[in-house]
Copies of this chain bind each other. A is one copy, B any other.
Amino acid sequence: MGYVHGYSDYEAGRLRNSAHALSGLIHAQVRYPEGALVLEAPCGVGAQTEFLVGNNPGTRFVCADISEASVRVAMGQNPGLPFLAGDLYALPFPNATFDHVFACYVLEHLERPGRALENLLRVLKPGGTLTSVEGDHGSCFFYPETPEALAAWACLPELQALLGGDSLIGRRMYSVLAGAGFSDVWVEPIRIYCDPSLPRMMKGFVEDTIVGMLRGIESEVIERGMLDPAVFRKGVEDILAITTHPEGAFCYTFFRAVGSAPDR
């Protein structure tokens, strides 16, 4: 399975910019007790790790990612933390190792999200929690809305599906977690909203996150012939123009799901 956003330096920078813009919303309520042992998997380039550690100074984190290159970047950004390469489908930990698990922006990329969740459940102690954060690319709406902007944006879920993922997984988080065996599943939508009174969100979310994602897939969209290059580029420019339009607006929904490991 391919990772739709790739592993470039450009992408590592985009992930960090996006994590900064959204940290208050994504990490609200993600608080762990002193001394708890928490797995972050996958950690990617460590873009979320900084906020996990900053918000939970007494917690012991272990961070794992399938990409050794990403792990090296993450270690450079977060010195002193235990990082290791590890596949979500075959985590190198005994059963019931961790008090809690944090998993961000991953299920949408997987062909078997339920299988990955079962593995995360396996390494959780009974009563421990999984916090899982995902987007939903079908949740997006904006103003002004041009046909080219809609067509360019539609390339992202389409490409994700071609790679075996599901970028509309956000809306299904309840049933995906419950189906994997988690109990007391609770899902909260995290709504991103930008208007002209919120220029920092326009920059951090629409420009750095959304337009950033689209620019990152441009060459693949064109190589695969998914959309006329001129239409794609105009669509991306139209979305960028929302950020400074006097009546511009942009909405998107992430979902944060929390489920517990049942007693065995």
A12 shortest CB reach to chain B, Å = 30
A135 shortest CB reach to chain B, Å = 12
Known: A191-B253, A195-B187, A197-B185. Contact between A171 and B246, CB under 8 A? no
A206 shortest CB reach to chain B, Å = 13
Q: Is the CB of B141 within 8 A of A171?
A: yes
Listed residue (A172, A185, A246, A251) with the most chain B CB atoms within 10 angstroms of its CB:
A251
Interface size range on A against B: 20 to 34
Q: Is the CB of A197 within 8 A of B174?
A: yes
Q: Tell me the A136-184 residues at the B interface (CB within 8 Å).
A: 136, 138-139, 141-143, 168, 171-172, 174-175, 178-179
Query: Closest B-chain residue to A255, C-beta based?
Result: B193
Other than the given A141-B168, A174-B196, A253-B253, 13 more pairs (CB < 8 A) read A139-B141, A141-B171, A142-B171, A143-B171, A143-B172, A175-B196, A179-B247, A185-B197, A187-B193, A188-B193, A189-B193, A191-B191, A251-B253
